[in-house]
Amino acid sequence: MKFDPLRQAVLGETPGRAMKRDWRSKAWRSAAQLLLGGIGLALLTFVCFRLGLNLATTSFSFLILIALLSLMGGLFGSVVLSIIAVGTLNFFFTQPLFSLRMEYPQDILALIAFLTTSVIVSSLTAKLSKVAEELRQGEAQWREVFEHNPAMYFIIDPGGTVLSVNAFGAAQLGYTVNELVGQTVLNVFFEEDREVVQKHFSVCLANLGQSNSCEVRKIRKNGTVLWVRENAKALRRSDKQLNVLIVCEDITEHYEAGIELARLGSIVASSEDAIISKGLDGRITSWNAGATRIFGYQATEIIGQPITRIIPPELHAEEPEILTRLRRGERIESYETVRVAKDGRRIDMAVTVSPMFDKSGNLVGASKVGRDTTERQRRIEELRRSEAYLAEAQRISHTGSFGWNVATGEIAWSEETFRIFECDGALKPTMDLMLTRVHPDDRARVRQFLEHVSVNGEVLDFEHRLLMPGGSIKHLHVVAHAVKDASDKLEFVGAVMDITAIRRAEEELNQVRAELARVARVTTLGELTAAIAHEVNQPLTGLASSGNACLHWLSGETPNLQAARNSVERMINASNRAGEVISRIRAMVQKSSTSRDWLKINDTIFEVIALIRSEIQGNSILLRTELSNDVPLIYGDRIQLQQVILNLLMNAIEAMSAIGEHRELLVRSVKDDSNGVLVEVRDSGPGLDQTTLDRLFEAFYTTKTHGMGMGLAISRTIIATHGGRLWATPDSPRGAIFRFTLPTGEDEASS
């Protein structure tokens, strides 16, 4: 067998290895032929001898056996078997039997004819076998080429049904061969391209033997697109059957590269940036529309001109330096520079320069991408100015800004925030750093509040204190609102205000207000001197009377100890009453800081009424109280609330002193709609006109001849500091109603 270069190309087989393989194959086939032939001749000899067949019949049987065996072996084996057959026929079937000697000449001629015929038949059979083997091997080789060639092959019938497809082509489309054979070839084409494919096949069938080419899209089994160039030719087989052979070349990468090149060209043409290329001689070789827009030169008038035409004279030295760096293969990233437009305008630009090489790797020029940054530079300058203004405003107002990304924990502070916290601006702000500055008494509350808002995304608005390293205390007011960043994560943006000076001013103001309120209380008590004297005089008189009675009961011959004891108990009760009056007066006039506690508003009302009861009786006023038992406890300052109630009652008494009769004073307490307390003081005096009503709570406004105009103003302030409200309305048909509300104060008490 001759060495086949095609087999070498497909299977990678060397000539020596192929020859060795062929000789080994021939030897094994000859050995098998001789073995089977020997066995076959022995069996035929035995059968024919037993049946008594003559020489001619036995020779024909041997000839058939040798011809059949020659199909599996070579000519050599057939010749050897023919010689063995001649000897067997001579020994067993010619006279004399069982001897190689022959008596009749016709037997010699018969054996010579048998040998000649056997050799001729074996030779012809061997040649046919060789031709068949070569055809088989050729078909196998071409099948290997068909299956393993890195190209897609289809054979289809005129109706478009796939008759054959190579394994490479099927795998390239994601199918197996069996999945495609018997199916219409249109299934592997893009639906929009199937009409073009059918027309292509029609042209092939109309022009037998001519190749036709087209570029179409095929669709893989997974839905992805494969661009191919199809070469199709219609051929008629030996059985007159018409088939179409299609060879497909994968051009996806080439097609996509073309699309990418077109896309890049479109980007360059439509880019707002100036994209310019130049040669090593410094002359412009390309110029896009963006460059025309920025510099004002048309491509036709600038291409071929030196690049220095758009560079200011003082910057011409840039070009040699850039060229030196390009020769080293460097890419010069965006650098800020200045260029000159056609009309002489100077343009701020950010320029990126990349080297251009030919296929041999030689530097042939440079590509420049320039972006007009004139407007950006202007905005940057404005931003710098705004930041400077903002920083100064923050410094003056003691207000810093901050940002807090809840997901990452990242915190950003402004310069003023660093100053407020007295931290080095080089430090990275963190939650731990901030909490170390928070006053220890406020730290747990601040941490709890931050954890709460970080989960719920609520508005961040709270106050707390800072304990600075030097021991000083600052008061801060923090306000921030929640936003979502680009990755939809929660972030807070807000301000930190140093309100230490405000809190100090409020403390001083509260001290002034407290002193003023105390003066007002003292003034009010001064107006009640007669009533207070009466209140104190009554228990003192009782004390003296009980003392005399006690002496009387003890001076008898037989002291009446029980009566004396009763007199002493009355003396004790009288002294206690006098002590309570004095204690109430001292509590209202003493100078002390505000102290809040839980109290019953009804008890506070009774305490004030007890203090001015003689004033009420002296003015012939009918006092009625409607105090509800279900009013809640109030968290407040007892003295301040007593002052409010005292002021309202005294105003009512003075208002009713101007009328002759029907002087009635009603004091009510009920639970209001917000579960707080509503207190009402209603008198039957002349009432309030609209002018008085509008200015009633203004400081230094009074309708009294000797009034200061501070009582109601102070009362409203006290109620407001307790979280309540004080207002007045006219009563019908006459009189005035003063009402105030107080919340329970649970939030304040818990804080």
For residue range 200-259, list pLDDT tens digits in order.
888 888 888 888 888 888 889 998 888 888 888 888 876 678 888 888 888 888 777 777
**Predicted local distance difference test score (pLDDT) of residue 254:** 78
Q: Is 129 buried (19+), middle (13-18) or exposed (0-12) by CB count in 10 A?
A: middle
Contact 575, 614 (CB under 8 A): no
3-class state of residue 234 by DSSP: strand
DSSP character string of 29-89: HHHHHHHHHHHHHHHHHHHHHHHT--HHHHHHHHHHHHHHHTTTS-HHHHHHHHHHHHHHH
| Token pair in block for residue 41 | 């001749």
How many angstroms separate the Cα of 625 from the Cα of each of 554, 664, 719?
A: 44, 11, 21
Phi and psi of 302, rounded to 5°?
-110, -30
Residues contacting 684, CB < 8 A, separation 6+: 656, 659, 662, 663, 664, 665, 731, 734, 735
Residues contacting 378, CB < 8 A, separation 6+: none
Tell me how many helices (H) and strands (E) the chain has: 24, 22
**Predicted local distance difference test score (pLDDT) of residue 699:** 65
CA dist 157 and 590 (Å) reads 118
CA dist 276 and 322 (Å) reads 15
pLDDT tens-digit series, residues 552-583: 777 877 787 787 787 777 777 667 656 665 66
CA dist 125 and 115 (Å) reads 15
β-pair partners for 671 = 677
Phi and psi of 155, rounded to 5°?
-120, 120
**Predicted local distance difference test score (pLDDT) of residue 380:** 81
| Token pair in block for residue 489 | 């994560």
Tell me which residue has tokens 């209001």. 672
**DSSP tag of 632:** P
**Predicted local distance difference test score (pLDDT) of residue 46:** 87
How many angstroms separate the Cα of 724 from the Cα of each of 615, 629, 679, 739?
A: 29, 20, 11, 10
Q: Which of 294, 296, 308, 306 is nearest to 347 (CA)?
A: 294
User: What is the chain's percent helix, strand, coil content, to nearest 5?
Assistant: 55, 20, 25
| Token pair in block for residue 185 | 């070839």
- The strand ranges marked E within 82-199 are 152-156, 162-165
Phi and psi of 13, rounded to 5°?
-95, 135
* Below-50 pLDDT ranges, the chain: 1-3, 5-12, 530-531, 534
Tell me which residue has tokens 């048909």. 733
CA dist 28 and 419 (Å) reads 101
Residues contacting 326, CB < 8 A, separation 6+: 332, 353, 355, 363, 366
CA dist 53 and 62 (Å) reads 12
